[in-house]
Structure 1
Amino acid sequence: MGALATAEEGKPLMQSGSNTAVYALDVDARRQARAFLGLPASVFAGACYCTASMSMVLLNKVALSSFGFGSPNALLFYQCALCVLLVHCCKLAGLVKVEPFNWQIIKIWVPVNIIFVGMIGTSFWALASDLNVAMLTVLKNLTNFFTLSGDYFLYGRTYKLNVWGCVGLMALSALCGAVTDLAFDARGYFWQMVNCLFTAAYSLYMRGAMDKVSQHTSDGKKLGEFSMVFYNNLLSLPFIALIMAGTGELRGWLTEPDLHNPTFMAVAAVSGIIGFAISFTSLWFLSTTTPSIYSLVGSLNKVPLALMGLFAFNVAWTLPNLLSILVGTLAGIVFTVAKSKS
């Protein structure tokens, strides 16, 4: 019988004539270990990300439009600070491990963080406008075009025509929605388009940053999800504070009447907790897949979100509005079929 090999990932358990069979069993075992509730890690992480994302958009829209809260950047600062606090509490309780503070990691992570602040900031500003949730979700699909293009030019990844056809259907959905929008808001459209660019840049740049950071971690591995959540939100605070100072919110947010409204404070607290959840699930999902799949799968939650937005906020809708949502659904189906055959 051959000698036992080291239990390293990607190596056979035994060195003998049956190495190939044992290696296959080892791969299957590792895949099972990465499964959650019988689902592959990428599928489970994607489902968690979509759930958190939908909840976050709806709650932030409630907080920013239903109460008349006039300091969106202050709410963003609060959510990021709460994320830092929650991760730190989990660390003190021994539930998670966070990479020790490291200036080399900070230098690599600052560009990621600037893009992160741009992504969540423009999302807040779009939600604070008169742009309704349904139209926001339709426009969000345009992120996929930017991400696929970046994947091609930056990483040399190529995609078949059926994948590009999926993106084309999503773009058509956005066009149909824009043409039939009964409450056009130029400011909301502008910030949402900018948000699409930041979101694509975030998913594209993050993967490279993860590889660079692994050279400076204490164990030589990539940052864990909780470490990335901690660094992302901690480094965001000074940038958001600068934005608050530039917009005048730093002087006036304490005088907001809604700070004395228990309902608003409850919504803000829950949105902060969900912000922690979406930070973790988005990074977790991105670590299990490619930027393009991350972006496209994230688009699948836009269909139910758009429908919930139409009914939850009493938005006037027409048959063309619903047709644009249907086109988005078809795009998701096309992508699922294309991915299953690849």
Structure 2
Amino acid sequence: MGEGSAPAAEPTPLLRLGAVLYFMGSSMLVQFTTKAVFTNFGFHFPLTVALLQMAFIAPVSYVVARPVLSWALVRQLAPLAMVNVLNVVCGLIGTAGLNVPMFIALRRFTLLFTILLERFWLKKSHDWPTLSAVGVMISGALIAAATDLSFNPRGYAAVLCNDLLTSLYLIMVKNTPGTNGLSTTGMLFYNSVLSLPMLLAATVAKGEPSRMTSFPLLWDTNFQMVLFLASALGLTINHSTFVCTRINEPLMTSTAGNLKNAAMTIVGAFAFGDFIFEPLNAMGLAISMGGAVWYALRSALRARQKSIKDRLLQQVPVIGRDRLHRGGAQPQLTGAPLGFTASGASSALLDGGGMGKSRSESRGDLFERPLQ
């Protein structure tokens, strides 16, 4: 936004909700698709999947956005791309190593890390109901983790790193100076292009290309279709993350992810064959899900209250203008200079006195100038 330009309009509640639903839907699709690639087809090459996703995103986002190519933007966005690469890799390793309900339970810690980073980095405080809801989610996740019969230390470590990096990534998306002059799709282009070399180096270092040649289903049509779908959906999850975080807040994006996980927990328990039912584990998952729903409902209520308050405040000048157009009596503003009405116009000028201007011209000039 250039100097002297008008401030950006506050997003409407409907726009905020649309961004949240877009993020939730994209996240569900990409998680289930990548889980099918790893579990149903046995394709255990997470770095290759991440590389394919970024290779798909880069040309598509450039064609759509046509962003300005600048080394200054490269330098500013390089740290964001590095965090994104680490985040994607940890997420894919965690998805491959854990059943869906357990993966989702551990993803609850994203909220905790977001709150901690906002508190100690951005100096932002949170009220006790917010902290209590997060506590319920974390407690349920710990109960579920303690009774997980398919315990995978590597998967647990990957998901917890994924949680921390996701929180850091969301906060950087919202607060990186280099993102201010870019559209969401343009920012996505830079992020994918800068991520590609790092992902390629990691893939080669891990030896995935040589091992992948012996994968038995590599030329299977069904596998190739699902792998292509997982690569293409990487565009929607990255784009929706940017959109939701820019329109809302990092904590709201984390909350949307937790609310989406409530549905995924139920579906994931039946869609894949790696979930072992255990009563205490199921109870922990239910407690964690309940905390997520509580937090989401409370956030929605607070957003609605804020919207109503803002709408009431915006009605004050509108009421004044309505009275002005009706030609009714103009009430005096408390503490305003003599002759100024609730609409912000001088009664002397409205009568056309001494200025040589029409009523509409005088009224328009005064609406554009602040009261002295």
2:158 to 188, 191, 194: 191
Q: How many residues align?
A: 298
For residues 51 and 296 of structure 2, the distance between their equivalents in structure 1, rounded to whole angstroms, comes to 37
1:54-93 alignment, distance < 5 Å: 54-88=28-62, 91=63
- Give distance in 1, aligned partners of 2:201 and 2:18: 37
Distance between the aligned counterparts of 2:255 and 2:44, measured in 1?
33
2: distance between equivalents of 1:292 and 1:311?
Answer: 30
Following superposition of structure 1 onto structure 2, how do residues 78-227 of structure 1 map, counting pairs within 5 Å?
78-88=52-62, 91=63, 96-129=64-97, 131-209=98-176, 212-213=177-178, 221-227=180-186
Distance 2:65 2:30 in 1: 25
Counterpart amino acid of residue 188 in structure 2: V
Greater gyration radius: 2
1:327 equivalent in structure 2 = 287
User: Bigger shift: 178-187 or 318-327?
Assistant: 318-327
Given candidates 197, 219, 233, the residue that maps to 1:260 is 219
**CA shift digits 1:230-266 (9 cap, x unpaired):** 1111111100111112111233334433220111111
Deviation at 1:318, TM superposition (A): 2.8
Mapped to 2, the partners of 1:48 and 1:127 lie a distance apart of 21
CA contact (8 A) 1:162 1:334 kept: no
Q: CA deviation digits over 1:165-215, x for unaligned, max 9?
A: 011011011111112212111111111111111111111222221xx115x
Offset of 1:322 from its aligned partner? 2.8
Residue 20 of structure 1 aligns with which residue? none
Q: Distance in 2 between matches of 1:280 and 1:87?
A: 9
1-structure distance, mates of 2:82, 2:227: 24
Tell me the distance in 1 between the aligned counterparts of 2:258 and 2:271.
20
2:202 pairs with 1:243: yes
Secondary structure at the aligned position of 1:258 is classed as coil
Identity of aligned pairs, percent? 23
State the Cα RMSD in Å. Answer: 2.0
3-state SS of paired residue (1:260): coil
What are the superposed Cα offsets for residues 100-129 of structure 1, whole Å, 9 maximum, x if unpaired? 211000001110001000111001111222
Relative to structure 1, the CA distance from residue 245 to residue 327 in structure 2 (aligned partners, 3 Å threshold; closer, same or farther) is same
CA deviation digits over 1:253-295, x for unaligned, max 9?
3443322011111111111221111111110000012212221
Give the distance between the partners of 2:141 and 2:234, measured in 1 at CA: 26
1:70·1:256 contact (CA, 8 Å) conserved in 2? no
* Native 8 Å contact 1:98 1:224 kept in 2: no
Output the CA distance in 2 between the equivalents of 1:57 and 1:70: 15
Q: Do the aligned residues in 2 keep the contact of 1:81 with 1:237 (CA within 8 Å)?
A: yes
Residues 2-17 of structure 1: pairs in structure 2 closer than 5 A: 9=6
* 1:296 and 2:264 matched: no
> 2 CA distance for matches of 1:316 and 1:141?
20
TM-score w.r.t. the length of structure 1 is 0.82
CA contact (8 A) 1:122 1:195 kept: yes
TM-score under structure 2 normalisation? Answer: 0.75
Q: CA deviation at 1:9?
A: 4.0
Q: Is the 8 A contact 2:23 2:256 kept in 1?
A: no
Q: What are the equivalent positions in structure 2 for 1:273-292 lying under 5 Å apart? A: 273-292=232-251
> C-alpha distance in 1, partners of 2:114/2:161?
13
Superposed structure 1 runs of 4+ greater than 6 Å apart = none
Residue identity matched to 1:54 = M
CA distance in 1, matches of 2:61, 2:252: 27
> Residue in 2 aligned with 1:18?
none
CA distances 1:118-156 after superposition (whole Å, capped 9, x unpaired): 111001111222x10110000000111111011011111
1:319 deviates by 2.7
Quickly say closer, same or farther: Cα 1:98–1:65, change in 2 above 3 A.
same
